[in-house]
Amino acid sequence: MWKKKWIRWAGLLIILGLVWGLYLYTKPMGKTGRLKPDYNLTAVQLFDEFSENESTAGETYLNKVIAVTGTVSEVELNPDQGISVRLKSSHPVFGVLCELESGGEKSDLQAGNEITLKGICTGKLMDVVMVRCVEM
């Protein structure tokens, strides 16, 4: 008799744990605009730090909120992924690629404009990549 009660309680706890896990998995992320930046840098500084020592820069900036200021070199409108803005760096081709949060302001997104974006750094592929960016 007590074994059946124990099995019922264990089953109930497992179901509650699964429901809680599903809730946390599907919970929407907070808006980046509300977060305070951990670092304020220029696009040139951020790119150069990753170019000089990627592991040290990764330890410092990876998954941190960064406000980055730079000159827009390119704006890409992707129907599936939204808007991506590339900021110029010391490299002639690569820079800091900022993927904008959906629904964000898009006022100064023209090549040649100076802009400050705040987002979360995810590391360096060819460009230093920042996601969930918003204009400051």
Domain hosting 73: range is: 32-135
Asked if 37 and 24 sit in the same domain, the reply is no
Per DSSP, the residues of the chain read -HHHHHHHHHHHHHHHHHHHHHHHHHPPPPPGGGSPPSEEEEHHHHHHHHHH-HHHHHHHHTT-EEEEEEEEEEEEEETTTEEEEEEP-SSSS--EEEEEPTT---SS-STT-EEEEEEEEEEESSSEEEEEEEE-
- Quick one: pLDDT at residue 48? 95
* Structure confidence at residue 66 (pLDDT): 95
| Closest among 81, 102, 98, 100 to 89, alpha carbons compared | 98
Same domain for 44 and 55? yes
Number of domains in the chain: 2
Judgement on whether residues 19 and 43 belong to the same structural domain of the protein: no
Q: What is the number of other CB atoms lying within 10 angstroms of the CB of residue 31?
A: 12
> pTM of the full predicted structure?
0.75
pLDDT in tens, the chain (136 residues): 677 888 888 889 999 999 998 888 887 666 777 789 999 999 999 999 999 999 999 999 999 999 999 999 999 887 777 889 999 999 999 999 999 887 555 566 788 899 999 999 999 989 999 999 998 8
Residue 114's domain is classified under what CATH number?
Answer: 2.40.50.140
| Same domain as 59, residue 15 | no
Count of CB atoms within 10 A of residue 127's CB?
A: 20
Domain check: are 116 and 66 in the same one?
yes
pLDDT number for residue 30: 67
Output the pLDDT for position 59: 94
25 in the same domain as 36: no
Please report the pLDDT score of residue 107 as a whole number: 61
Question: Are residue 10 and residue 69 in the same domain, yes or no?
Answer: no
